[in-house]
Amino acid sequence: MSRVEAATALILEVFRLNGALLAAGDALTRDLGLTSARWQVLGAVALAGRPLTVAGAARAMGLTRQAVRRLVTELAADGFVALAPNPDHRRAALVVLTEDGQRAYAAAQERQAAWAARVTEGCEPASLRDSTTLLRCLRAALERDEESGAPETGS
């Protein structure tokens, strides 16, 4: 199997695993009133150490402002986060976790740890780390390749 074939197989597996992971995250948090996406927003706010604006949370997550904005609106309607006035910016309110939000996030985190322990039972930690390193390296190469020019124009 050539390098290209091996890479193609890995890419297809990443797609499948991504779908399976999102489904698992949804199932894991459904009865908390969360989803994978909502959980991710709560995590960004909880782990930031300081209140974030919507745009700041989006940067922290690698998503767009707009995607985060919609999730924050929903989370605020459900009482998981609140929007506090920002002394530094009149329009850009600060997103903070409510008590409900903190509870839900902590519960989700606990479940995720138990779940991760369960599904990686047969895996060597070193293998997990090696794969993470490879995927990270691959993504870095991929982003470099995107920047360095669209190949369809060049060739």
Q: Does 90 bind a second copy (CB under 8 A)?
A: no
Phi, psi of 78 (to 5 degrees): -90, 0
Report the site for DNA in 24-53 (rule: CB under 7 A): 26, 35-38, 40, 53
Separation CA 66–CA 20 (nearest Å): 25
Q: Which parts of the chain are beta strand (E)?
A: 52-53, 81-86, 89-97
- Comparing CB distances to a second copy, the nearer of 84 and 119 is 119
Report the site for a second copy in 57-86 (rule: CB under 8 A): 62
Q: How far is CA 3 from CA 24, 43, 140, in A?
A: 31, 37, 18
Q: Which does 84 bind (CB under 5 to 8 A by kind): a second copy, DNA, none?
A: none
Sign of CA dihedral 108, 48, 81, 68: negative
CB atoms within 10 A of CB 92: 15
- Comparing CB distances to a second copy, the nearer of 83 and 115 is 115
Instruction: Let me know how many helices (H) and strands (E) the chain has, helices first.
Output: 7, 3
- Comparing CB distances to DNA, the nearer of 89 and 139 is 89
Residue 92 C-beta: closest distance to a second copy, Å: 25
Site for a second copy, rule CB under 8 A: 1-4, 6-11, 13-21, 23-24, 27-28, 30-31, 62, 111-123, 125, 127-132, 134-139, 141-143, 145-146, 149-153
Site for DNA, rule CB under 7 A: 19, 26, 35-38, 40, 53-56, 59, 63-67, 69-71, 73-74, 88-93
